[in-house]
Amino acid sequence: MIKAESLTIAYDNHIVLKDLNFQVAAGEFVGLLGPNGSGKSTLLNALTGLLPPREGQIYYDGILLNKWRPRPLARQVAIVPQENWVSFPFSCWEIVLMGRYPHLGRFQRESREDLEAAEAAMVATQTRELAPHLINRVSGGERQLIVLARALTQATPILFLDEATSNLDIRHKLRIFELLTRLNQHEGLTILAVMHDVNLATQYCRRLIFLKDEGIFRDGDTFTVCTPEVLEAVYDTPALVQPHPFTGRPFVHFCPEVEPLL
């Protein structure tokens, strides 16, 4: 579904990522991880067309990214960015309903199907009670849930998340990733998620891509690549990996380099 070929991404003369080659197949749930400055968000910007690559090509379903027109691309890919600053006082309901715009014709009003899609997304993200509230009057965590609901309303086969749950508490993070897992497993939603929380990634992502030193350091099945050796090399911090007591999936303990005070 997504293919990057010999991809080099740069800001002016500063190369962030160089000669990347990878594919994401339909129905995968992939976590994109790495230390600060490794290029995770930059890669998403390139994959969505916001940052043209210096070299290389990006394909969606075999078609070059630069051949996609904005509206058809918006029916293919939805993104939940890390930060959302909405300066106009739209209601939360209006923000979520904006997800249907790529599916509407010029001057076409929303149909019952569009309204039902927005309603279902708000119910799924447990934000229905926020519908009448102004987006700039709700908390940062609530705003992030509304933006996620908008992305789900967009009803695309691909969803990109850029630290999408960073403003949420633990309970909401787990609920959102349980929802994403259901959409991935039962509806075939393809997900590529930029994440800093390694343990959240290991519990929900079936594949991990680690970025470091301008490239892909390791790419593979979560059980295969989530090892102390890989984690220590990526994060420059000693690590211990054990099975999670409830899920059996890898659980990471990063170890302090000094003796803890008793």
**Overall number of domains in the chain:** 2
Confirm whether 81 is domain-assigned.
no
Q: 133-146 as b/e, with b when 16 or more CB fall inside 10 Å?
A: eebeebeeebbbbb
DSSP for residue 137: G
Query: Which helix (H) or strand (E) segment is 10 a member of?
Result: strand 2-11
Residues 65 and 38 both lie in one domain: yes
In a domain, 215, yes or no: yes
Instruction: Indicate the pTM of the whole model.
Output: 0.92
Whether 104 and 222 share a structural domain: no
Q: Are residues 30 and 148 in the same domain?
A: no
Structural contact between residues 78 and 100, judged by C-beta atoms closer than 8 angstroms = no
223 in any annotated domain: yes
Q: What is the DSSP string of 19-46?
A: EEEEEE-TT-EEEEE-STTSSHHHHHHH
- Which tokens belong to 190? 């393809």
Reading the chain (262 residues) residue by residue, the pLDDT tens digits are 899 999 999 998 899 999 999 999 999 999 999 999 999 999 999 999 999 999 999 999 999 999 999 999 999 999 998 876 676 889 999 999 999 999 988 778 889 999 999 999 999 999 999 999 999 899 888 999 999 999 999 999 999 999 988 888 999 999 999 999 999 999 999 999 999 999 999 999 999 999 999 999 999 999 999 999 999 999 999 999 999 999 999 999 998 876 665 5
State the residue for tokens 């904006």.
98
- Contact between 80 and 162 under an 8 Å Cβ cutoff? The reply is yes
CA distance linking residue 174 with residue 185, whole number of Å: 16
Tokens of 160: 């990109």
Residue 148's domain spans which residues? Answer: 87-155
